[in-house]
Amino acid sequence: MTTDARGERMQYRVAIREAIAEAMREDERVFLMGEDVGRYGGCFAVTLGLLEQFGPERIRDTPLSELAFVGAGIGAALGGMRPIVEVMTGNFSLLALDQIVNNAATLSHMSGGQFAVPLVIRMATGGGLQLAAQHSHSFEGWYAHIPGIKVLAPATVEDARGMLRPALADPNPVLIFEHIRLYSMMEAAPNGPVSVDVHSATVRRGGRDVSLITYGGSLHKAMEAGEALAAEGIEAEVVDLRVLRPLDTATIIDSVRRTHRAVVVDEGWRSGGISAEVSARIMEHAFYELDAPVQRVAAAEVPIPYPAHLEGAALPSVAGIVECARRLVRGDTGNG
């Protein structure tokens, strides 16, 4: 899927690991802290082996204290370090939300620009592993509501490998959401020190009939849907948002100008999700370009249940995307 990656194929989790290791080698101020990042090797095995390479001061296992260690990450950033804080999953990050929203996001502005918070927070997000109602939710769209933080969602191995460097170079708090279903994905990744653009969305597949606008774990469903639609003669363009805050409105609008139809695909709950924001922006910037109303394919508004068939029904599916896009292109949106 990556377009210009020339390196060897690797797992998404390994790409993140290599990015962390590279950052730690290059900058002494960088360190990683979080629950079980060291001796355990990371709850999703992302950080396996890093403790042995960098030692327990820089690969720092924390107690179960999300609020305090995220806050300590903010403090350490203020104190001149470049912390990478891992929070195991988005659901657990709610425990640290006060520090993220009330401190990390506000300190620069309310101090009149005296302080920067060069902090990276990584967390796993999303469903699909049957982890049920306290482990499976997608809060990245929610975080994207907060001024003062940036939100990244790597959907490819290349992005997983390349987003960390610019995130660490950023003087602002950057949150990186890693979809749990992607950790084992293998793709070609670039070699050596790499940095990808962290300002723009990108078109992952060209098409003229409909734009499928998505990010993260759902990108792969959208790409599959694109294939299936192509087989029916519908050419879907797939836009990977990549950066959820600040949103790259221009790339979205450009795509809609080409296709005149859009489906937003998001694993977050529908109401008030990032899919609503994308729809609203298209409304504001490309209303007169639209041949039909923008549609959303998002998670059902339920706590994600455990059994596979119910979880599957709750999350966006390839079939659901295909059907929605097909109806949209065929002019059947049921809109009064």
Partner 1 sequence: MSARALERDRALHLLREMLRIRRFEEKCAELYSAEQIRGFLHLYVGEEAVAVGVMQALEPDDAVVATYREHGHALSRGIPSGPLMAEMFGRAEGVSGGRGGSMHIFDARTRFYGGNAIVAGGIPLAVGLALADRMQGRARITACFFGEGAVAEGAFYESLNLAALWDLPVLFCCENNLYAMGTHVALSHSETDIALKTTAFRMPAWAVDGMDVLAVAEHARRAAAVVRGEGGPAFLEFRTYRFRAHSMYDAERYRERGEVQQWRERDPLVTFPALLRERGLLDDATLDEVEAEVQRELDEAVAFAQAGTLEPVEHLSRYVYMDERVAEGPS
Ligand X SMILES: Cc1ncc(C[n+]2csc(CCOP(=O)(O)OP(=O)(O)O)c2C)c(N)n1
- Smallest gap from Cβ 207 to partner 1, in A, equals 31
Contact 62, 7 (CB under 8 A): no
Touching ligand X, residues 240-259 (CB under 6 A): none
Separation between Cα atoms, residue 101 and residue 107, nearest integer Å = 10
β-bridge mates for residue 211, sequence order: 237, 262
With respect to partner 1, which residue has the nearer C-beta, 78 or 290?
A: 78
Q: Is 135 a catalytic residue?
A: yes
Residue 64 near ligand X by CB under 6 A: yes
Half-sphere exposure of 177 (CA within 13 A, CB side): 32
Separation between Cα atoms, residue 187 and residue 200, nearest integer Å = 21
With respect to partner 1, which residue has the nearer C-beta, 130 or 188?
A: 130
Backbone angles phi, psi at 154, to 5 degrees: -65, 130
Helix or strand or coil: residue 273? coil
Residue 187 near partner 1 by CB under 8 A: no
Give the H or E element holding residue 92: helix 90-93
Touching ligand X, residues 131-170 (CB under 6 A): none
With respect to a copy of itself, which residue has the nearer C-beta, 280 or 308?
A: 280
Touching partner 1, residues 295-324 (CB under 8 A): 300-303, 305-310, 313-314
Binding footprint of a copy of itself on the chain (CB under 8 A): 67, 91-92, 94-95, 97-98, 101-102, 105-106, 109-110, 132-134, 141-142, 144-148, 245-247, 253, 257, 268-269, 271-277, 279-280, 282-290, 292-296, 301-303, 305, 333, 335-336
Q: At what angle do helices 217-231 and 318-329 cross, to 10 degrees?
A: 50
With respect to a copy of itself, which residue has the nearer C-beta, 80 or 113?
A: 113
Q: Which of 327, 300, 333, 330 is nearest to 314 (CA)?
A: 300
Q: Which of 225, 304, 319 is nearest to 268 (CA)?
A: 304
The binding track of 28-47 with respect to ligand X, each residue x by CB under 6 A or -, is: -------x------------
Q: Is 224 a catalytic residue?
A: no
Touching ligand X, residues 193-222 (CB under 6 A): none
* Residues labelled catalytic: 66, 135
